[in-house]
Amino acid sequence: MKVELGNNAPRAAGAVAPAVTYVNVPEEYTYVVEDSAATLGERIRQAVAGGGGITHEPDQEAIISVAAAWAAEGAGQPTWVWSDNPDFVVALAAFFNCPIGRPPDVEMTHYTAAGAPGNLGPDAEALAAIAVANEPSTNGGAPA
């Protein structure tokens, strides 16, 4: 499962906010929803707040892995959460007590895997220049 968290307080030295924290949860990691995903997230959040810790939650490896990644990457609470698993994201939102979904302008407002805000990745002009530079020579390999 893929998870993204809005991070206004990255822990890494020199990191700039707001940023996106990315977590890849192995598909074999489990999470068991008893009543509802929201109830599960809330129950685990209360266990953590009460000092019980989430290491005492059998069959909840997926939530534990995201919580551990967040503890290493961000301070405080995430500002939002997204996942490619619609049920799991509900549990995470309840656990972190934050809204579900990326901001519509996340690439313009957050540091992402593509880089600084506003960096949408390679543009068409840059890709065209790379393609031209890599075209096979039509003059038998002689310098132009």
Residue 82 has pLDDT above 50, yes or no: yes
Name the residue with higher pLDDT: 63 or 142.
63
Cα 91 from Cα 82, distance rounded (Å)? 11
Smallest Cα–Cα separation from 8: which of 95, 66, 79?
79
Cα 31 from Cα 57, distance rounded (Å)? 10
All structural domains of the chain with their residue ranges:
2-132
What's the mean pLDDT when you consider all of the chain?
Answer: 81
Name the residue with higher pLDDT: 127 or 75.
75
- 85 with 57: CB under 8 angstroms? no
Residue 8 has pLDDT above 70, yes or no: yes
